[in-house]
Amino acid sequence: MNFIKRVLSTVTGIFVFLFICFFLLIIIGMIAGSSSKGKVTVKDNSVLELKLDFPIEDHQAKTIFKDYPFLDEDEKNGLFNIIDAIHYAATDDKIKGISIDNNMIAAGVSQTKAIRDALLKFKESGKFIVSYGDIYTQKDYYLNSVADTIYMNPVGAMEFKGLSTERLYYKDFQAKSGLKMEVVKVGKYKSAVEPYLENEMSDNNREQITVYLNGLWSEIKSEISQSRNIPVEELNNIADSLLGRTAPLAKESRLIDRIAYHDEYVVGMKSALGVAADKKLNLIKIANYSTYAYGKKLTKTSKNKIAVIYAEGQIIYGEGDEKVIGQGIMNKALKKAREDDKIKAIVLRINSPGGSALASELIWREIELTKKVKPVIVSMGDVAASGGYYIACNADKIFAEATTITGSIGVFGILPNGKELADKMGINAEQVTTNKNALTYSFFEPLDENQRKFIQDGVIDVYDLFTQRVADGREGLDQDGVKAIGQGRVWTGKDALNNGLIDELGGLDDALKYAAEVAEIEDYKIKEYPVIEKDLKEMIQQFGMIQSKEELLQEELGVENYKIIQEIKSMTQQKGIQLLFPFDVEIK
Cα–Cα distance between 549 and 553 in angstroms, integer? 6
Peptide bond into 530 cis (omega under 30): yes
Cα–Cα distance between 87 and 77 in angstroms, integer? 14
Single-letter code of the amino acid located at 459: V
Three-class secondary structure of residue 203 per DSSP: helix
SS3 readout for 104-144:
CCCCCHHHHHHHHHHHHHHHCCCCEEEEEEEEECHHHHHHH
Active site residue 5: no
Single-letter code of the amino acid located at 561: N
CB 187, CB 462: distance < 8 Å: no
Cα–Cα distance between 245 and 135 in angstroms, integer? 10
Alpha carbons within 13 A on the beta-carbon side of 357: 22
Handedness of CA 284, 288, 294, 295 (dihedral sign): negative
Beta-strand relationship, 63-65 and 490-492: unpaired
Beta-strand relationship, 504-505 and 397-400: parallel
Cα–Cα distance between 496 and 490 in angstroms, integer? 9
Q: 230-243: b or e for each residue (b if 16 or more CB lie within 10 Å)? A: beeeebeebbeeeb
Cα–Cα distance between 365 and 134 in angstroms, integer? 50
Beta-strand relationship, 354-356 and 578-580: antiparallel
> Which residue in the list 227, 253, 360, 386 is annotated as catalytic?
386
Cα–Cα distance between 347 and 156 in angstroms, integer? 42
DSSP state of 320: B
- Element holding 354 (H helix, E strand): strand 354-356
DSSP string of 485-498, one letter each residue: H-TT-EEEHHHHHH
Active site residue 342: no
CA-nearest of 72, 55, 575, 76 to 351 is 55
CA-nearest of 253, 215, 182 to 495 is 215
CB-based contacts of 297, cutoff 8 Å, min separation 6: 84, 88
Show the CA angle centred on residue 335, arms to residues 329 and 341, nearest 5°.
140
> Which residue in the list 190, 344, 483, 494 is annotated as catalytic?
190
Residues assigned a catalytic role? 190, 386
